[in-house]
């Protein structure tokens, strides 16, 4: 039931952060009105189904895997990149399910992740100061005065690419690509001969043996929906509120944001009086909220009450992102306080954003061991506090990039320049993402 004191534009009376001034506000309004006429990208039925699946995660009966690009771009959009991304996400899912024995809820960080918060509004290169790049939803990566100005027309391109992305991923999920009968085909060329590829082949062989047994029992894996298809949902940070408002619809006296199945609020926009919190509290979609260093426990409880007043299971995901050097000291107290409050939440671990650093040769990067270290401490803290470690949230790609150091590939500082392609933050490549899935699976088995 909708809060009668809330409307999709209620956020406009609140404190709006991480939003630059548009040179032509009238054009922005024109684009918003155009978006309001377009079909929503996801259905309210799909959103309700995700809520049900996430309620199982809340209860500890399933696990949440959320992953995708740090920031989608217009230039990297292609069917091949989408297939590679979806393939590695399927591999990670199988590894986690096989190792943990629980269903995995797959939520892509995709089909709308075009905006990024920035620590500074301006950046300077060679003495020239221009507005910071805030993702293709706002402006251009190229460092020139025209491209760095926010352009409302970009919202229409975001909508179009997101629609194409969702439709293509739906086709892959339901059209046979995700069938367990094709599990041997999920290894990518550059992963095939890696240690991770070999381990995945072992998992695939065990699953194939189980499939043969099912066939012998008269159950055809090719026609059984649970084995031939895969459920898949989308998510992104709801940073551009005019875009999100424009795609919000009232269905049966309940508001759903039709831009994605799940939306999240970032670490920089989650104060109690912030516009992003105000928008998120009124929609029925599952909401994620980043929880980082310095988070006040009392404020966290107030935010959980504001974002999930009915205390429904499957509504709120708290995404911890402290860093390998801080998570052990800060997370346990928050777990304790939330548990004592009786608030129903899913705790997920984002081990990426708290472990970003700059290499000596100037590349923004992350170290594989620090990422794994935060994941391990996340599980250890939950075990110590008697709470449930519900999921993980990775910035990853299906491409063979060299942006994060370490892992079995032993990517070093000097290797970063080889295939450093990210528009914002460094991502795990497919091999590193699969390796991490195996290691997370081992950590889960040990707890």
CATH architecture of 10-178+229-446: Alpha-Beta Barrel (3.20)
Two structure tokens written together for 113: 């992740």
pLDDT digits (tens), the chain, 447 positions? 456 789 999 999 999 999 999 999 999 999 999 999 999 999 999 999 999 999 999 999 999 999 999 999 999 999 999 999 998 898 888 888 887 888 999 999 999 999 999 989 999 999 999 999 999 999 999 999 999 999 999 999 999 999 999 999 999 988 777 776 666 666 655 556 667 667 766 766 655 565 555 565 665 555 544 544 568 999 999 999 999 999 999 999 999 999 999 999 999 999 999 999 999 999 999 999 999 999 999 999 999 999 999 999 999 999 999 999 999 999 999 999 999 999 999 999 999 999 999 999 999 999 999 999 999 999 999 999 999 999 999 999 988 899 999 887 888 899 899 999 888 899 999 889 988 988 888 888 776
Sort 213 into a burial class: Cβ within 10 Å, 0-12 / 13-18 / 19+.
exposed
User: Of 147, 163, 180, which Cα lies nearest the Cα of 82?
Assistant: 163
Distances (CA, A) of 442 to 36, 57, 73, 98, 366: 46, 19, 34, 11, 22
**pTM check: above 0.85:** yes
Q: Where are the chain's structural domains?
A: 10-178+229-446
C-alpha–C-alpha distance, residues 208 and 219, integer Å: 14
Two structure tokens written together for 198: 């070999």
């Amino acid at each position: 039931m909708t809060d009668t004191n809330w409307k999709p534009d209620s956020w406009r009376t609140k404190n709006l952060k991480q939003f630059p001034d548009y040179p032509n506000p009238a054009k922005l309004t024109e684009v918003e009105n155009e978006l309001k006429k377009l079909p929503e990208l996801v259905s309210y039925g799909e959103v309700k189904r995700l809520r049900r699946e996430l309620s199982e995660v809340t209860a500890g009966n399933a696990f949440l895997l959320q992953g995708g690009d740090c920031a989608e771009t217009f230039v990297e959009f292609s069917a091949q990149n989408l297939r590679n991304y979806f393939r590695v996400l399927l591999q990670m899912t199988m590894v986690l399910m096989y190792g943990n024995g629980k269903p995995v809820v797959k939520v892509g960080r995709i089909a709308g992740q075009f905006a990024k918060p920035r620590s500074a509004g301006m950046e300077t290169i060679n003495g020239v100061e221009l507005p910071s790049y805030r993702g293709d939803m706002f402006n251009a990566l190229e460092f020139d005065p025209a491209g760095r100005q926010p352009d409302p027309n970009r919202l229409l391109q975001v909508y179009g690419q997101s629609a194409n992305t969702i439709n293509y991923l739906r086709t892959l999920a339901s059209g046979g690509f995700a069938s367990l009968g094709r599990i041997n085909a999920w290894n990518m060329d550059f992963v095939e001969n890696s240690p991770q590829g070999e381990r995945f082949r072992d998992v695939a062989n065990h699953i194939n043996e189980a499939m043969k047994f099912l066939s012998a029992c008269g159950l055809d894996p090719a026609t059984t929906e649970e084995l031939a298809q895969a459920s898949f949902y989308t998510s992104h940070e709801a940073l551009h509120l005019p875009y999100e408002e424009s795609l919000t619809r009232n269905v049966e006296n309940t508001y759903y944001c039709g831009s994605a199945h799940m939306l999240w609020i970032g670490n920089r926009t989650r104060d109690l009086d912030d516009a992003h919190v105000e928008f998120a509290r009124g929609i029925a979609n599952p909401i994620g909220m980043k929880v980082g260093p310095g988070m006040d426990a009392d404020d966290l409880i107030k935010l959980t009450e504001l974002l999930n007043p009915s205390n429904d299971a499957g509504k709120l995901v708290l995404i911890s992102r402290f860093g390998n050097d801080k998570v052990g000291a800060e997370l346990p107290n928050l777990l304790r306080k939330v548990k004592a409050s009786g608030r129903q939440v899913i705790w997920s671990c984002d081990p990426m954003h708290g472990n970003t650093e700059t290499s000596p040769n100037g590349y923004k990067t992350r170290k594989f061991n620090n990422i794994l270290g935060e994941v391990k401490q996340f599980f250890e803290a939950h075990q110590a506090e008697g709470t449930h470690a519900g999921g993980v949230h990775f910035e990853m790609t299906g491409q063979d990039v060299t942006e994060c150091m370490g892992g079995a590939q032993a990517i070093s500082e000097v290797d970063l320049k080889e295939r450093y392609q990210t528009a914002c933050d460094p991502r795990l490549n497919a091999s590193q993402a699969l390796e991490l899935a195996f290691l997370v699976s081992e950590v889960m088995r040990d707890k």
